[in-house]
């Protein structure tokens, strides 16, 4: 799809809001939304004379994320002021980390088209989020500081990705890890997870990286992928036409499907980082790190291997179920309680994923308990209902949350295997379709399937297909 002589190079900076109850330097709530400027106090609105005190949970969560991505944890780390003036940040600086981040040198393993690859992480640092600006027609720009001081971690990757598919796999894996270690809800529609895409291209075989563009603030993986596709093509075209790529910040225009320049490197801010004099260094003992490590749950990589071995899932299916802890737990409980875990997996992959749209999958709200899916699978496995009736039952479970056994009972969906009952129906069907019977007798094999079809129709799909087939063969040969 791209010019065959070129290679794409991608590095990502992922911002993730931590799920602490209170903000990073004050006691205000981190809850999403709320009336503008009601989740604020003098500290998070940057009043002169106030002093920040770090929320201990933020440090713990950052270390959890670091350990889950094989990072080194800094024994000594500090917080710095990143100075910039923009009205979404009333202090006129953001407290972040510059040269001594809390975590460094980690990695995330991904799998793309059956191939495994390791993406290195440069660092994970903690920082505070900024507020939001609302550009209201007629009213000018309004500032909502509710988000000011919500704790973030920024996860920076090395430029190790070579395609948008690898970038997407990295983002999905990272999100899965962050959700499993329970440091963030990773809700993309609420901006809890957003990323900046750094992308350059170079001729295959060339050693040095090309000049990169940075596409800011993507809050949807599919938009990020589209932006990468567009940006790679744009850069290749510029180079092919003899032009030069300039280092710049761009943004994705979803309506037009293009990236647009925001500012070039010459206009880039000089952030004048310096250590925040109001905050103590963050000193972390080895005991503390060990303690946090011991509290980590089973991580996605280990679960994936387990699902493949224990339930016979493909690597692809296993990865799909690890999209969120909620989905993974749903699968595990449904599989544990069923006679056939592989069939459970097929129902989730087929019906459930079809009904959950792309962006919902991460927070998937399935309207029934996993045990109900086990029951449905068990009903089919033991032949109480046919597969096609199973689909009807499933639909009703989805719409009403009713127990499948109850649905089968109330709707009289039980599979009919009784030979006497089916013989009566068969005789009726044959009597009503003399032409098809004749076709069959004169050697037209297809006619038989048509008779089976009539039988299924006459029993609303509830006849046991095996019994029907045997019965028809028997009657027709008489």
Report the residue number, 59 or 215, with the smaller CB distance to ligand ADP. Answer: 215
List binders of Zn ion among 43-102 (CB under 5 A): 43-44
Q: Taking CB within 5 to 8 Å according to partner kind, which of ligand ADP, Zn ion, none is near residue 26?
A: Zn ion
Residues 425, 97: Cα–Cα separation, whole Å: 77
Q: Tell me if residue 41 falls in helix, strand or coil.
A: coil
Query: Residue with structure tokens 């400027």?
Result: 37
List binders of ligand ADP among 181-200 (CB under 6 A): 198-200
Task: Report residue 44 as tokens.
Answer: 């998070």
Contacts of 305 (CB under 8 A, 6+ apart): none
Q: Taking CB within 5 to 8 Å according to partner kind, which of Zn ion, ligand ADP, none is near residue 389?
A: none
Q: How far is the CB of 43 from Zn ion (least distance, A)?
A: 5
Q: How many CA atoms lie within 13 A of 172 on its CB side?
A: 22
- Determine the size of the site formed for ligand ADP (CB under 6 A): 15
In this chain, which of 110, 148, 156, 397 binds ligand ADP, going by CB under 6 A?
156
Q: Are 53 and 41 in contact (CB under 8 A)?
A: no
In this chain, which of 30, 45, 69, 157 binds ligand ADP, going by CB under 6 A?
157
Piece of 207-215, 350-358, 435-443, 457-465 that binds ligand ADP (CB under 6 A): 207-215
Report the residue number, 213 or 282, with the smaller CB distance to ligand ADP. Answer: 213
Check residue 164 for interaction with ligand ADP (CB under 6 A). Answer: no
Residues 313, 306: Cα–Cα separation, whole Å: 9
Q: Are 219 and 190 in contact (CB under 8 A)?
A: no
Residues 258, 471: Cα–Cα separation, whole Å: 63
Contacts of 81 (CB under 8 A, 6+ apart): 93, 94, 95, 96, 273, 274, 275, 276
Apex 222 CA angle, 221 and 223, nearest 5: 90
Residue nearest to ligand ADP (CB): 11
Q: How far is the CB of 168 from ligand ADP (least distance, A)?
A: 16
Contacts of 430 (CB under 8 A, 6+ apart): 437, 451, 475, 476
Sketch the per residue contact string, 363 through 402, with Zn ion: x for CB under 5 A, - otherwise: ----------------------------------------
Q: How far is the CB of 184 from Zn ion (least distance, A)?
A: 20
List binders of Zn ion among 25-44 (CB under 5 A): 26, 28, 41, 43-44
Report the residue number, 13 or 105, with the smaller CB distance to ligand ADP. Answer: 13
Q: Taking CB within 5 to 8 Å according to partner kind, which of Zn ion, ligand ADP, none is near residue 212?
A: ligand ADP
């Amino acid at each position: 799809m791209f010019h065959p002589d070129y290679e794409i190079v991608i590095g990502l900076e992922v911002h993730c809001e931590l799920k602490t109850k209170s903000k990073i330097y004050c006691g205000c709530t981190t809850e999403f939304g709320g009336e503008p400027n009601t989740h604020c106090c003098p500290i998070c609105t940057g009043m002169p004379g106030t002093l920040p005190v770090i929320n201990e949970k933020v440090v713990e969560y950052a270390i959890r994320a670091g350990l889950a991505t094989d990072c080194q944890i800094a024994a000594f780390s500090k917080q710095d002021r990143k100075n910039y003036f923009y009205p979404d940040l009333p202090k006129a600086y953001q407290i972040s980390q510059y040269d001594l981040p809390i975590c460094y040198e980690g990695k995330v393993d991904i799998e793309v088209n059956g191939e495994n690859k390791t993406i290195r992480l440069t660092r994970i640092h903690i920082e505070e989020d900024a507020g939001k600006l609302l550009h209201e027609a007629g009213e000018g720009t309004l500032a909502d500081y509710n988000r000011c001081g919500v704790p973030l971690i920024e996860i920076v990757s090395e430029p190790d990705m070579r395609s948008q598919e690898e970038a997407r796999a990295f983002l999905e894996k990272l999100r899965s890890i962050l959700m499993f270690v329970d440091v963030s809800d990773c809700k993309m529609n609420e901006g809890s997870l957003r990323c900046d895409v750094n992308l350059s291209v170079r001729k295959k075989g060339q050693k040095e990286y090309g000049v990169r563009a940075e596409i800011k603030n993507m809050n949807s993986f599919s938009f990020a992928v589209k932006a990468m596709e567009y940006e790679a093509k744009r850069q290749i075209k510029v180079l092919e036409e003899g032009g030069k790529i300039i280092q710049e910040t761009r943004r994705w225009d979803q309506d037009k499907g293009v990236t647009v320049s925001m500012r070039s490197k010459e206009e880039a801010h000089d952030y004048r980082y310096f250590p925040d004099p109001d905050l103590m260094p963050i000193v972390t003992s080895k005991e503390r790190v060990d303690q946090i490590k011991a509290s980590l749950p089973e991580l996605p990589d280990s679960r994936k291997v387990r699902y493949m071995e224990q339930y016979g899932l493909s690597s692809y299916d296993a990865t799909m179920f690890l999209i969120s802890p909620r989905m993974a737990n749903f699968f595990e409980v449904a599989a544990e309680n069923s006679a056939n875990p592989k069939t459970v997996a097929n129902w989730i992959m087929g019906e459930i994923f079809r009904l959950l749209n792309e962006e919902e999958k991460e927070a998937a709200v399935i309207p029934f308990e996993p045990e109900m899916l086990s029951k449905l699978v068990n009903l089919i496995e033991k032949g109480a209902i046919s597969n096609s009736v199973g689909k009807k039952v499933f639909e009703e479970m989805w719409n009403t949350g009713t127990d499948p056994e109850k649905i089968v009972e109330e709707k009289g969906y039980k599979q009919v295997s009784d030979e006497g009952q089916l013989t009566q129906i068969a005789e009726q069907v044959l009597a009503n379709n003399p032409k098809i019977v004749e076709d069959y007798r004169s050697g037209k094999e297809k006619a038989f399937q048509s008779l089976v079809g009539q039988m299924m129709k006459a029993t609303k799909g509830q006849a046991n297909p095996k019994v029907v087939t045997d019965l028809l063969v028997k009657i027709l040969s008489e």
